[in-house]
């Protein structure tokens, strides 16, 4: 009986791993395979980082549900993540990668993301796991346990089977999709796209640029923008240090109001509409940063934020790029696989506003997209 028939004809069976010794045995066995399936379950409500509740690992023989709440030595699992001889198969892996990088300081390499593969097989940009399983195997997955509190114990059998299914069916899905991918010219592009995913996760957020993420930052004058830069940097560093979601430190819109109005007293913070908790816990610090911005020499102010939409050529330029992209996209590839509207805007911004900085290339000028991006860039430069 083939591996695909085994998983498609039978419900997932699994073992729960709650000790370092058991984890070592599971990971050693997994490292003897050519590829394994991985997934995580987590919750993320008030924290900056996801809270890991479960790790699912399938080596083609056994599904292991690894309990991170009771295991304190993950060196064997980290070695598996780092083993370049074992391909790690994940689906829609961005948040899983964030978890691995945060908890273990190690990303799963090499990586194949089946959602990435699906893009190159014509499924569009964000094809869900359950939809792919139904497409290939006519199986409907039960998603009833998707809202589980994965930090609660004990987990029910229904919850555990739900978690196990995500890797139990992932390997046969990968095998099926890989057969189709080998019939296309896109194998190296898939590999490159997955490498770019890993590269982005491993690049830390720069607190100095956190103010760019605040809505309407572009509306502020130079002194207010200086204040916002200091406030946003402090908020991000505080969120990381305390592992608290950004908006539970201070809401973004409140940070913007403080920067715009440069208040002097805590009563003024309340008058602006800040929450009493925000003022009580962080009011003094915000006022200190406002005063620091006021003392900052003008030559140290950040440059005004230039919006692409304010560029006179924006609308016509975007329409031209969309038409050109449609012309050069291979017939079997969804257009958004090469670039979304945001990707085209990033190319325009790099060309017109960032002075074609070679140290800050847009995605369209990296990796497998580069040949398409360069064609688009030529059109843009002559526009």
3-class DSSP state of 264: coil
- Out of 7-11, 250-254, 322-326, least confident range: 7-11
| pLDDT of the residue at 113 | 98
Measured CA distances, 29 to 6, 54, 73 (Å): 20, 19, 17
Residue whose entry in the numeric block shows the structure tokens 């995500």: 166
Average of per-residue pLDDT across 186-198: 97
355 token code pair: 């002075």
Numbered ranges of CATH 3.30.420.10 in the chain: 3-201
Per residue in 32-42, pLDDT (tens digit) is: 999 999 999 99
What integer pLDDT is reported at residue 274 of this predicted model?
97
Strand 51-58 vs strand 35-43: parallel, antiparallel, or unpaired? antiparallel
Report, as residue numbers or ranges, the catalytic residues: 39, 41, 96, 162, 166
For range 82-110, the mean pLDDT: 98
pLDDT of 5? 65
Question: Does the structure show a pLDDT above 70 at 2?
Answer: no
Is 80 exceeded by the pLDDT of residue 176? yes
Nearest 5°: the CA angle 124, 308, 338 is 20
Q: Regarding the domain with residue range 308-381, which homologous superfamily does it belong to in the CATH classification? A: HRDC domain (1.10.150.80)
Between CA 46 and CA 376 the distance in angstroms is: 42
Mean pLDDT of 65-77: 97
Task: With a cut of 50, say whether residue 209 has pLDDT above it.
Answer: yes
Please write the tens of the pLDDT for every residue from 131-146: 999 999 999 998 778 7
Give the CATH architecture of domain 3-201: 2-Layer Sandwich (3.30)
Report how far residue 375's alpha carbon sits from residue 348's, in angstroms, rounded to the nearest whole number: 13
DSSP E strands in 119-234: the ranges are none
Tell me the average pLDDT across 151-167.
Answer: 96
Q: Dihedrals φ, ψ of 93, to 5°?
A: -85, -5
What are the pLDDT digits (tens) for 250-273? 999 999 999 999 999 999 999 999
What does the pLDDT read at residue 1?
Answer: 38
CATH topology for 207-300 is DNA polymerase; domain 1 (1.10.150)
How high is the mean pLDDT of the chain?
95
For the cut 80, the answer to whether the pLDDT of residue 4 exceeds it is no
The whole-number pLDDT of residue 187 equals: 97
User: Is pLDDT of 123 > 70?
Assistant: yes
Within 23-126, strands assigned E span 35-43, 51-58, 63-66, 87-90, 111-113
**Closest CA relative to residue 383, chosen from 309, 335, 324:** 324
- Residue ranges, comma separated, of all CATH 1.10.150.80 domains in the chain are 207-300, 308-381
Q: What is the pLDDT of residue 167?
A: 98
């Amino acid at each position: 009986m083939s591996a695909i028939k085994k998983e498609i004809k039978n419900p997932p069976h699994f073992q729960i791993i709650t000790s370092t010794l058991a984890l070592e045995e599971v990971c050693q066995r997994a490292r003897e395979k050519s590829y394994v399936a991985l997934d995580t379950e987590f919750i993320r409500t008030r924290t900056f980082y996801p809270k890991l509740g479960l790790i699912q690992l399938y080596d083609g023989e056994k599904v292991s549900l690894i309990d991170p709440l009771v295991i304190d030595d993950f060196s064997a699992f980290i070695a598996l993540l780092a083993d370049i001889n074992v391909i790690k198969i994940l689906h829609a892996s961005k948040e899983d990668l964030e978890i691995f990088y945060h908890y273990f300081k190690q990303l799963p390499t090499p990586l194949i993301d089946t959602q990435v593969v699906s893009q190159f097989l014509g499924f569009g940009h964000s094809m869900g796991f359950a939809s792919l399983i139904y497409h290939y195997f006519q199986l409907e997955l039960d998603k009833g346990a998707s809202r589980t509190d994965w930090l609660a114990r004990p987990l029910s059998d229904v919850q555990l089977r739900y978690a196990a299914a995500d890797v139990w069916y992932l390997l046969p899905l990968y095998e099926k999709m890989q057969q189709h991918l080998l019939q296309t010219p896109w194998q190296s592009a898939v590999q490159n796209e997955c490498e770019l995913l890993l590269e982005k996760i491993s690049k830390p957020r720069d607190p100095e640029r956190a103010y760019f993420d605040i809505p309407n930052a572009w509306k502020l004058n130079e002194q207010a923008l200086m204040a916002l830069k200091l406030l946003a940097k402090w908020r991000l560093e505080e969120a990381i240090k305390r592992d608290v979601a950004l908006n539970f430190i201070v809401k973004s819109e409140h940070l913007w109001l403080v920067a715009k109005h440069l208040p002097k007293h805590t009563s003024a913070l309340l008058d602006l509409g800040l929450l009493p908790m925000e003022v009580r816990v962080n009011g003094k610090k915000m006022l200190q940063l406002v005063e620091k911005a006021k003392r900052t020499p003008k030559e140290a102010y950040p440059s005004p934020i230039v919006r692409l939409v304010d560029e006179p050529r924006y609308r016509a330029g975007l329409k031209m790029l969309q038409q050109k992209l449609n012309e050069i996209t291979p017939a079997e590839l969804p257009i958004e696989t090469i670039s979304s509207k945001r990707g085209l805007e990033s190319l325009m911004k790099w060309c017109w506003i960032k002075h074609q900085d070679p140290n800050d290339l847009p995605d369209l000028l990296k990796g497998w997209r580069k040949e398409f991006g360069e064609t688009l860039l030529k059109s843009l430069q002559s526009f």
